Amino acid sequence: MTVVDTSASLTFRAMGTEWWVGCDHPELLAGMEQMVRDVEARLSRFRMDSALSRLNRERQATDPILAHVAEAAWRMRTLTSRAFDPTLGSQVARLGYDRDFDDIFESADPEPTPEDAWLDIRIDAETVRLAGSGELDLGGIAKGWTADLVHDELLSRGASRVLVDGGGDLRASGRWRVGVGQDRAVDLDGGLATSSTLRRTWRRNGRTLHHLVDAGTGRPSTSAVVEATVLARDAATADALATAMVVAPERVMGCLGAIRASAWLSDAEGNEWTTPDWKEIR
């Protein structure tokens, strides 16, 4: 994602990706990096001391941020009929994505068969409980949710023009022109996210795998869509919908209008198409 407009900004690496935070008052940026790192410390599945790891290990954890993000993820799971599904954490790990992406190496191990796991979730105030044998993976939606959190904090401090980019999960106020793909741009005032099977890939037993797993098969998605960019009201919603549009576009297309979201899609041959209300600047 390319930011065309610029203001005072902050850059750093967290949650396994690059962050860019910009606003019209540079003095307000203090503490934003730490805010992102605090969320990462709670929601990383690669840190054994995180609230998420504790939840998956002990099947119960009390943490306000974990509860908020888990609730958002479960809501999007329902909306997309499991095209976006945060319950596939153990299967993603078994496929080889069981550590920070930068630390994954090529493996000759055979691809594991999908496990017969299920997961249900109960949220009571700040306490999250799991039933079943699966694991919760908040992955991308946590990035989007954190981008929304930083955005809202900057607005509350007095900024009027804000853009937060967490590895392609964007949240903006005040209209920012951002590039999408090779030759497209949008004026963003809301949330935007891109999901792709062409990034975050690794090799296992001679095959290229990716992290977007289809809940129906337990394997990396093989739909015709290889990349999707979604515009939505916030970054968390956009992230979940972008993932869902890659995994099962036919299941998700019908729900976009109801939540005022739009999408740009691409297949492996480079064919592109958009939903009717997608608005871009050429």
Show the CA angle centred on residue 199, arms to residues 196 and 205, nearest 5°. Answer: 115
Burial of 120 (0-12, 13-18, 19+ CB in 10 A): exposed
Q: What is the pLDDT of residues 154-199, one digit of tens each?
A: 999 999 999 999 999 999 999 899 988 777 889 999 999 999 877 6
Q: What is the pLDDT of residues 20-79, one digit of tens each?
A: 999 999 999 999 999 999 999 999 988 999 999 999 999 999 999 999 999 999 999 999
Q: Could you tell me if residue 108 is inside a domain?
A: yes
Which residue segment(s) compose the domain that 248 sits in? 2-274
Q: What is the pLDDT of residues 68-115, one digit of tens each?
A: 999 999 999 999 999 999 988 666 656 555 445 454 444 544 454 555
Q: Could you tell me if residue 282 is inside a domain?
A: no
CA 217/CA 114 separation, integer angstroms: 7
The answer to whether 256 and 162 have CB atoms below 8 angstroms apart is no
Confidence check: pLDDT of 208 > 80:
no
In the structure, what pLDDT confidence band is assigned to residue 3 with cuts at 50, 70 and 90? Answer: low
Q: What is the pLDDT of residues 115-148, one digit of tens each?
A: 556 789 999 999 999 998 888 999 889 999 999 9
Long-range (24+ apart) CB contacts under 8 A made by 219-225 are 219/95, 219/111, 219/114, 220/95, 221/197, 221/246, 221/247, 221/248, 223/247, 223/248, 223/249, 224/249, 224/267, 224/268, 225/249, 225/265, 225/266, 225/267
pLDDT for position 206: 55
End-to-end Cα separation, the chain, in angstroms:
15
pLDDT for position 166: 97
Q: Which of 83, 81, 79, 78 is nearest to 214 (CA)?
A: 83
Phi-psi region of 236 (alpha: psi -120 to 50; beta: other; left: phi over 0): alpha
Quick one: which H or E segment has residue 220?
A: strand 219-220
Q: Could you tell me if residue 75 is inside a domain?
A: yes
Q: What is the pLDDT of residues 233-265, one digit of tens each?
A: 999 999 999 999 999 998 899 889 889 999 999
Q: Could you tell me if residue 281 is inside a domain?
A: no
Q: Could you tell me if residue 26 is inside a domain?
A: yes
Q: Could you tell me if residue 255 is inside a domain?
A: yes
pLDDT for position 110: 44
Distance of CA 252 to the CA centre of its chain: 16
Total domains in the fold of the chain: 1
Q: Could you tell me if residue 279 is inside a domain?
A: no
**CATH code of residue 15:** 3.10.520.10
pLDDT for position 61: 98
DSSP string, 1-13: -EE-S--EEEEEE
pLDDT for position 94: 61
